[in-house]
Amino acid sequence: MRLWSTKPSSVSQWTDGLRFDPARTRAGHIESWFLKANDPRGRRAVWLKWTVWAGSGDRTHAIAEAWAIAFGGAHGHVATKTSVPFERARFASASIGANVDGCTLTADAARGRVESGGRAIAYDLTIASLEAPLVHFPAPWMYERAFPRQKLVSPIPNARISGTVEVEGERWTLDAWPGMVGHNWGEGNSESYAWGHCNAWDDEDDVVFEGFTARVRAGGVLVPTTALCLRHHGTSYMLTGFASLARNRGAISARRWQFRGQGSRVTLEGEMWADTEDFVGLFYPNPDGTLCYCLNSKLAHAELTLRIHGRASRTLHSSRAALELATRDPNHGVRMYV
């Protein structure tokens, strides 16, 4: 049930680094690394992203993008994005490392400036991981097999982010804000999914929760899959094995994700939700020409009930959770930003 082994991870050398290979990719490809951090004392958050996109028709003409969103500042939500040809960007092959239009990410730091639509976000941040060795979510088998086609891993699931962010002239000072770094890739976005993460609870400092529900197409049928993991006071519970996936349940609605999972030593049940004004809409084009709408909030509410064997049941709350909902429905009602 431990989330990691004391031995070096056999998957870390390729799940952290670039998966895209123009010479070998037969279909289209999407890939991204992202960093998020929440103000532990207020409702502000920053989300940064470095991406690769290659169409299925001409994968040799790929692009790289740098994204930046500031949630909840004096100017409201501010979202920016810049794009360059893939050949002008740099990505590490066996570690966390990206450089897109001067915006850089490593396992230790993120620096850059993203400007679009007359708005700008600049950042100079350090990343201090609280987990060693690296923790991978959801499970190695998902990276080694064709299913699911969209892969997700969290090389730094629990970090403290420090430094500065400049949002339209407003200066934010980050002093050990709870954060994380994630990585995902695949031939396209799932037709519908919810992803959530929280390590900034109202009354708890040593709990990290992450999970997703995705409706993925297999053999022409949409198959719902829910994976959940929890780190609680030094012990990790990973509900991502085949038996757990058969028992786990998840439900996605317009502004809410509900989930439940059970293992031999833990039961997790809860939900994440956000008001419409706390979402930022993002256009996620798929390589096959279809369009996914990502409704992104880093100011979501979370309620998580833990039933751990041998311990009293507890319910945790937060108003600083990360929640992303994806839909193909253009009438989702959230303002689209970039």
- Give the torsion through C-alpha atoms of 208, 319, 280, 223, to 10 deg: 50
Q: For residues 270 and 285, give the distance between their C-alpha atoms in angstroms, rounded to a whole number.
A: 30
Instruction: Tell whether 332 is covered by a domain.
Output: no
CATH number at residue 232: 2.40.370.10
Positive or negative torsion for Cα 195, 186, 93, 338:
negative
pLDDT of amino acid 243: 86
Task: Quote the number of domains for the chain.
Answer: 1
pLDDT at 114 over 60: yes
pLDDT of amino acid 143: 72
Instruction: Tell whether 2 is covered by a domain.
Output: no
Instruction: Tell whether 185 is covered by a domain.
Output: yes
Instruction: Tell whether 337 is covered by a domain.
Output: no
Q: For residues 66 and 115, give the distance between their C-alpha atoms in angstroms, rounded to a whole number.
A: 10
Q: For residues 113 and 82, give the distance between their C-alpha atoms in angstroms, rounded to a whole number.
A: 9
pLDDT of amino acid 261: 96
Q: 57-67, pLDDT tens digit by residue?
A: 665 689 999 99
The verdict on whether omega for the bond into residue 85 sits within 30 degrees of 0, i.e. cis, is: no
Among 9-18, 21-30, 42-51, the minimum mean pLDDT is found in: 9-18
Instruction: Tell whether 4 is covered by a domain.
Output: no
Instruction: Tell whether 317 is covered by a domain.
Output: yes
> What is the residue whose two structure tokens read 């909902």?
325
Instruction: Tell whether 191 is covered by a domain.
Output: yes
Are the C-beta atoms of residues 245 and 226 closer than 8 Å to each other? yes
What is the chain's mean pLDDT, rounded? 89
Gyration radius of the chain over CA positions: 19
pTM of the model: 0.91
Instruction: Tell whether 105 is covered by a domain.
Output: yes
